[in-house]
Structure 1
Amino acid sequence: MAAYIKDLSIRWADLDPNFHLRHTAYYDFAAQARIDLLHSIGLTVHFMQQAEFGPVLFREECIFRREIRYGDSIQLTSKLKKARQDFSRFSIQHDFIRNDGTVCAILTIDAAWINTRIRKLTLPIIEDKTILEAMPKTDDFEWVQ
């Protein structure tokens, strides 16, 4: 998979008083795309609930380059930017791209996995680690320590 792609529909409620996409909408769209990406590789919400683990964010940052306005056709791509070999920590990059190819925003998160019962960091409880290795990666993807 080259990238996980979602087509976005900008709603009136997503706009701010300047009639462009409000900053919190970027974060909402990216959060949904991450869960959908995990679902697409087999890490469904139901599976994570049963295994008592889920993603937890350490950092979330958005670089705003161009306005997104009501009626714009936007694709949101999601790719793994970096990860530890055991996938205990990872970063995902989301690019908000207008249909003319303009990158309007780049949102990056740094995350890990939490045991949802004992509320402590954990390794992802997945028998087949190739599931996570199958995630689409950025061109500058790197394995980190």
Structure 2
Amino acid sequence: MDSFSKVISIRWSDLDPNYHVRHSAYYDWGAQQRVEVLNNLGLSLKVMQENHFGPILFREECVFRKEIHMHDEITISLFIKSIAEDGSRWTMQHILTNQRGELCATITIDGAWIDTQKRKLANPTPQMVIETMKKFPQLA
């Protein structure tokens, strides 16, 4: 698998007063895609709740390259940029391209897993996490 990709539906509420996509919509798209991908790989919110863990972000950065407008067809692709051997910490990157294949933005996040009861960093059910995270395509 080359990447986890999907076409984004741009909503009226995603626009700002300049009639292009507002900056915070990019972060919303990234978060939604990550939750959907984890769910599809078996790390659903229910599994995380039952095992008392969840993802936590240390950094989230978007680099804007090209404006996105209401009728653009945008594809967002998700990759693992780096991952600790035990799967406990990771960097993911979203790449957003338009219908012409032009780079519109990249979103980079650094994250880890948190024990939701202890409220401390943890490596939950290591084998499950490692196996799931290995299914992500690596960014070259």
TM-score (norm 2): 0.95
C-alpha displacement of 1:130? 2.2
| Secondary structure of the corresponding residue to residue 127 of structure 1 | helix
Q: Which residue of 1 aligns with 2:12?
A: 12
| Secondary structure of the corresponding residue to residue 139 of structure 2 | strand
| Secondary structure of the corresponding residue to residue 138 of structure 1 | coil
What aligned pairs does 1:14-29 form with structure 2 within 5 A after superposition?
A: 14-29=14-29
User: Given residue 47 of structure 2, which amino acid in structure 1 is its aligned partner?
Assistant: F
User: Given residue 79 of structure 1, which amino acid in structure 2 is its aligned partner?
Assistant: F
1:99-121 CA-to-partner distances (Å, cap 9, x unmatched) read 11001000000000000111100
C-alpha displacement of 1:126? 4.3
C-alpha displacement of 1:57? 0.2
Q: Which residue of 2 aligns with 1:134?
A: 135
Q: Distance in 1 between matches of 2:110 and 2:64?
A: 18
Runs of 5+ consecutive residues of structure 2 not aligned to the other structure: none
What aligned pairs does 1:10-49 form with structure 2 within 5 A after superposition?
A: 10-49=10-49
8 A contact 2:10–2:70 mirrored in 1: yes
**Which contiguous aligned blocks of 4+ residues in structure 1 show a shift greater than 6 angstroms?**
none
User: Given residue 52 of structure 1, which amino acid in structure 2 is its aligned partner?
Assistant: H
| Secondary structure of the corresponding residue to residue 32 of structure 1 | helix
| Secondary structure of the corresponding residue to residue 86 of structure 1 | coil
RMSD of Structure 2 on Structure 1 (CA): 1.0
Runs of 5+ consecutive residues of structure 1 not aligned to the other structure: 140-145
| Secondary structure of the corresponding residue to residue 27 of structure 1 | helix
What aligned pairs does 1:1-145 form with structure 2 within 5 A after superposition?
A: 1-128=1-128, 129-139=130-140
Q: Distance in 1 between matches of 2:15 and 2:121?
A: 36
Alignment identity in percent?
45
| Secondary structure of the corresponding residue to residue 108 of structure 2 | strand
C-alpha displacement of 1:131? 2.3
8 A contact 2:8–2:73 mirrored in 1: yes
How many pairs align? 139
The structure with more strand, counted as a fraction of residues: 1
8 A contact 1:41–1:135 mirrored in 2: no
